[in-house]
Structure 1
Amino acid sequence: MDKEVDPSVLAAIDEMRLSGPRLTPVEIVAKMGVFDARDKPFEHAWLATGDNVIATIWGEYVSVAAGGRWFYLESLDAQRRPGGGVRSAQQAQRAKDRLALLKRTFDAGQGFRAVLQTNRVAIAELESNKSAKVSTRVRDDAEWHVASWEPEQQLAVLVRGARGWEPTEADITAAKARGGVAADDDADAAPAGPTTTDAVQAAAMAYVMGHFKGYGYNAEDVTSKALGYDIEVSNAKGAMLLKVVVKGTAPALPTFALTPEESLCAVREPLWRLLVVADAGSATAAHKIYKPTEVDQAPGFQRKA
């Protein structure tokens, strides 16, 4: 709600709203280059034309440092809502998709575009109140970037404006009090990651499918066909690019092995690749791809006797 927004941030949002054309929340995102914005009105981040990432920045969680710089604390815990409580599967997937896009900009050293948003209900109720609606959404012409990404602390810091500045510990402590990230004493309440082989593999498959589709490729799950790989990746014209075996690892299941069919396919199929998803099912999941000659280098790989 507006009363939860820092006055200087709210004044800037109001100025942007009054100076621009009157557009709906979906139209704003569409005009920023998201062609399927109408099909994804409730997403929290989007991949736009030119490989640009757009992310929602909730005004209620924007903090202003002593020097006037804006920053925003991003929780890396996709399973828990900022206001407390466990997310539904759909909410958690939406959060994971957002984190994946933000991590992509961080890894590439790129910025992202932001839409600033305030809401008609208390921000803590945003994901739990079915009556929650956007109050104001505006395009921010200033570039944002991910200044730090700390999986151990389950926290990323997003900063508005030029690089080279980060909030102090005092700034971050004050920002945590505003909400948006789980309190430290809530950490033990967060659900554990997947602990069975099937659950880890399912999480890894979902991650990989989303990864390739996020780049605009066609990805087809062919696991049931027992071809010696799990996913066929092709371009928009239908040309086959990769035949990928997917393996996931997690703290409870740190190792994996190839099946006999997968090992044979690696020898005969030029497009065969191994893609390993580390920390599958968590907000910090990350992947690396290996050629057949590099499989032994994959962390966690165990060759069967």
Structure 2
Amino acid sequence: MEKEVVPAVLSVINEKRLLGDKRTPVEIISKMGVFDARQKASDSAWLATGDNIIATIWAEFVSIGAGGRWFCLESLDASRRADGGERSALQLQRAKDRIALLKRAMDAGQGVRAVLQTNRVAIADLETDKAAKVSVRVPDDEEWHVARWDADEKIAVLVRGARGWVPTDEDLQAGLARGSVPAPEPEVVIVQSSPQEAQAAAVAYLTKHFSSYGYKAENVSSQQLGHDIEVFDKKGATLLKLAIKGTAPGVSTFQLSSEERAGAQRGDPWRLAVVTDATTPAAQHKIYKPSEIGSVPGLEALPG
């Protein structure tokens, strides 16, 4: 929206709009050489005639650096919107196409022709609000170029005007505040679990699981019966005798004790239940019949 645009940038846009020809957003890019402009009007970058690269510059994202130089920070993370949310398949493809064209311009030392654009909704809602149509689009008389490309940080810097100037660190921080680049995703810290922690979490998980269905799940693991919980129906009949094993970060394998193997040989209602990622919110389980334990992932043979 115009209230989000730096006044100096908005002044140029308004002057261009008032003094220029009255053209629609589609007519503007068509006149600049975009083939099938109507079908491609919602794209954000185009390869035009003469191998010219044209890119939308959202005025809301433009910052003013030292000496009055304009610049814009470009996210190279095609999968995430500016607000950090995941893009739809169509949005993802458009973002990838835009990044590819900007990279092509940089590699070729080629400038980028820009169309300056403001939008009818807050810029943060650009990709999620159905009313997020172009408010104003004008061709910029000044050429832009890619002044910096940092694949590790997933940021490119687009600069308006002559080459040789780059924003200062202070400028870049101000540019980041305009919100064109999503905040870094929080680092996921994987906590390693001990076998005892994985086992306890697996037993607790399955006890809760069966209880939530109205069954009685009794923990008998301390009795060394060859199974860890017994599951009863509402009438008290035994449905399952479960030997439980848990895997988790740091715990990828497990063994069956001699009592558990004896339980498997006795057969029904004995089962082996394996809970993967037992210590995490992603825990899930699978139950195996005695005849299937030879192919259970993670099950080690007894030593000797």
TM-score if structure 2 supplies the norm length?
Answer: 0.61
CA contact (8 A) 2:159 2:166 kept: yes
Amino acid paired to 1:33: G
Whole-Å Cα distance in 2 between the matches of residues 3 and 44 of structure 1? 22
Residues 241-289 of structure 1, C-alpha deviations (whole Å, 9 max, x = no match): xxxxxxxxxxxxxxxxxxxxxxxxxxxxxxxxxxxxxxxxxxxxxxxxx
Q: Secondary structure at the match of 2:172?
A: helix
Q: Paired residue for 2:97?
A: 97
In the TM superposition, residue 31 of structure 1 has moved relative to its aligned partner by: 0.2
CA contact (8 A) 2:116 2:140 kept: yes
Whole-Å Cα distance in 2 between the matches of residues 156 and 162 of structure 1? 17
Mapping of 1:28-67 within 5 angstroms? 28-67=28-67
RMSD: 1.0
Whole-Å Cα distance in 1 between the matches of residues 159 and 83 of structure 2? 22
Q: Paired residue for 1:81?
A: 81
Residues 111-140 of structure 1, C-alpha deviations (whole Å, 9 max, x = no match): 010000000100000000011111100000
Q: Paired residue for 2:173?
A: 173
Q: 1:97 to 1:188 in 2, by over 3 A?
A: farther
Whole-Å Cα distance in 2 between the matches of residues 61 and 152 of structure 1? 21
Q: Paired residue for 1:131?
A: 131
CA contact (8 A) 1:159 1:166 kept: yes
TM-score if structure 1 supplies the norm length?
Answer: 0.61
Residues 127-184 of structure 1, C-alpha deviations (whole Å, 9 max, x = no match): 0001111110000011000001100110000000000000001100111011000123
In the TM superposition, residue 50 of structure 1 has moved relative to its aligned partner by: 0.3
User: Where has structure 1 moved over 2 Å in runs of 4 or more?
Assistant: 186-189
Whole-Å Cα distance in 2 between the matches of residues 166 and 24 of structure 1? 33
Q: Paired residue for 2:215?
A: none
| Structure 2 unaligned spans of 5+ | 189-304
Mapping of 1:246-257 within 5 angstroms? none
In the TM superposition, residue 187 of structure 1 has moved relative to its aligned partner by: 5.6
Amino acid paired to 1:129: D
Q: Secondary structure at the match of 2:41?
A: coil
In the TM superposition, residue 100 of structure 1 has moved relative to its aligned partner by: 0.3
CA contact (8 A) 1:83 1:123 kept: no
Q: Paired residue for 2:4?
A: 4
Structure of larger gyration radius: 2
Amino acid paired to 1:2: E
Mapping of 1:1-305 within 5 angstroms? 1-184=1-184, 186=185, 188=187
Whole-Å Cα distance in 2 between the matches of residues 110 and 156 of structure 1? 15
CA contact (8 A) 2:148 2:158 kept: yes
Q: 1:187 to 1:164 in 2, by over 3 A?
A: farther
Identity among equivalent positions (%) equals 67
In the TM superposition, residue 188 of structure 1 has moved relative to its aligned partner by: 4.5
Q: Secondary structure at the match of 2:152?
A: helix
Residues 59-101 of structure 1, C-alpha deviations (whole Å, 9 max, x = no match): 0000001310000000000000012310001100000000000
Whole-Å Cα distance in 1 between the matches of residues 36 and 150 of structure 2? 31
CA contact (8 A) 2:84 2:183 kept: no
Q: 1:35 to 1:172 in 2, by over 3 A?
A: same
Whole-Å Cα distance in 1 between the matches of residues 158 and 66 of structure 2? 16
Whole-Å Cα distance in 1 between the matches of residues 73 and 25 of structure 2? 23
| Structure 1 unaligned spans of 5+ | 190-305
Q: Paired residue for 2:259?
A: none
CA contact (8 A) 1:118 1:137 kept: yes
In the TM superposition, residue 32 of structure 1 has moved relative to its aligned partner by: 0.2
